[in-house]
């Protein structure tokens, strides 16, 4: 082997990761640096003429003081949607992994089928489903589960329903991946040891499915917290989430520094929650 070949072999790993590193630098690190510098800029500037970097930390305090209710509401809605997705997703994933048989592929296709439709179109369809004169509301009124003047659209129920529907596949797929790896004989062995169904679930299924649970909840909770389409189309001004305020600050108000500061606060908050959650779940290897 010549010296040139040895040099190329020693640097081959760096050459292989160079495209990915360049991609991350251009589309992650550079935008992140731009966001941070904007969040520390003087808000008296303008998007046209640019903002002056003055290291103004007050932007963070002002953004948090003005918009903390939207932050809390976003975490609350996302938490409820994630919990509902976990229950529904576990049932569906369990059915696909252990009960679907030869229909397993078809059921998986049905799970990912919504991805072939635009996120916006799927959310607009829920606007029609939950409309005041829609069959859902009319049925609930007929069954006296809702007063005659009641409605679902423009309520927290509609926002959470939209979040649950749109992010449910992100919960099902990781859960299915973990459940599909479980050897069914382990469940049978637990039954032979006189474990009832609840004990088999708690001692066998749940611990082995925990990586999928953690992965699914993260893939659901993180995008749901920053979502603004569901709250915009299915909610009202009283159900707006932090994503709606960030979008309005960027596009309508033109207040880039406070919008960037609010984005950084949300990002740091979510990263901190993820680290604590993964550590408490005992699945640090997922990170």
In a domain, 264, yes or no: yes
Give the CATH number, domain containing residue 194.
1.10.3720.10
> Can you tell me the distance from the alpha carbon of 182 to that of 162, in angstroms, rounded to the nearest whole number?
32
Domain assignment present for 7: no
> How many domains does the chain contain in total?
1
Closest-CA residue to 236 (of 167, 162, 164, 159)? 159
pLDDT of residue 8: 53
List of residues 6+ apart from 22 with CB closer than 8 A:
none
Q: Please report the pLDDT score of residue 45 as a whole number.
A: 75
Q: Report pTM.
A: 0.87
pLDDT of residue 19: 86
At residue 284, the pLDDT reads: 56
Q: Could you tell me if residue 84 is inside a domain?
A: yes
**DSSP-derived secondary structure letter, 200:** H
In a domain, 35, yes or no: no
| pLDDT < 50 stretches in the chain | 287
Sign of the C-alpha dihedral computed for residues 115, 118, 120 and 124 taken in this order = negative
Q: What is the extent of the structural domain holding 244? A: 66-286
Q: How far is it, in rounded angstroms, from Cα 247 to Cα 82?
A: 23
First CA to last CA distance, the chain? 39
- Helix 256-281 / helix 242-251 crossing angle, nearest 10 deg: 150
In a domain, 34, yes or no: no
Confidence at residue 86, expressed as pLDDT on a 0 to 100 scale:
96
Q: How far apart are CA 35 and CA 268, in angstroms?
A: 13
- How many alpha carbons fall within 13 Å on the CB side of residue 280? 6
Q: Output the pLDDT for position 160.
A: 95
Task: Specify the pLDDT at position 285.
Answer: 53
What is the DSSP secondary-structure string of 2-44? -HHHHHHHHHHHHHHHHHHHHHHIIIIIHHHHHHHHHHTB-TT
Contact (CB, 8 A) for 216 and 86: yes
């Amino acid at each position: 082997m010549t010296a040139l070949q040895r040099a190329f072999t020693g640097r081959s790993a760096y050459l292989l990761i160079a495209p990915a590193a360049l991609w991350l630098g251009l589309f992650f690190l550079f935008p992140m640096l731009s966001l941070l510098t904007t969040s520390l800029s003087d808000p008296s500037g303008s998007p046209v003429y640019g903002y002056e970097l003055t290291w103004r930390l007050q932007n963070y305090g002002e953004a948090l003081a003005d918009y903390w209710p939207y932050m809390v509401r976003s975490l609350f809605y996302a938490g409820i949607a994630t919990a509902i997705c976990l229950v529904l997703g576990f049932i569906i994933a369990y059915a696909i992994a252990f009960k679907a048989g030869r229909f397993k592929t078809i059921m998986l296709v049905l799970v990912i089928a919504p991805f072939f439709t635009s996120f916006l179109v799927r959310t607009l369809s829920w606007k029609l489903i939950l409309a005041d004169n829609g069959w859902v509301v009319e049925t609930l009124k007929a069954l006296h589960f809702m007063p005659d003047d009641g409605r679902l659209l423009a309520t927290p129920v509609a926002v959470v329903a939209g979040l649950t529907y749109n992010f449910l596949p992100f919960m099902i797929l990781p859960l299915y991946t973990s459940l599909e790896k479980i050897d069914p004989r382990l469940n049978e062995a637990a039954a032979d040891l006189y474990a009832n169904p609840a004990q088999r679930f708690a001692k066998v299924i749940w611990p082995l499915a925990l990586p999928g649970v953690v992965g699914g909840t993260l893939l659901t909770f993180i995008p749901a917290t920053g979502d603004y389409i569901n709250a915009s189309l299915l909610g009202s001004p009283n159900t707006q989430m932090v994503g709606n305020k960030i979008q309005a600050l960027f596009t309508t108000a033109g207040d880039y520094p406070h919008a960037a500061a609010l984005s950084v606060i949300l990002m740091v908050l979510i990263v901190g929650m993820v680290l604590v959650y993964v550590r408490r779940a005992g699945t640090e290897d997922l990170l």
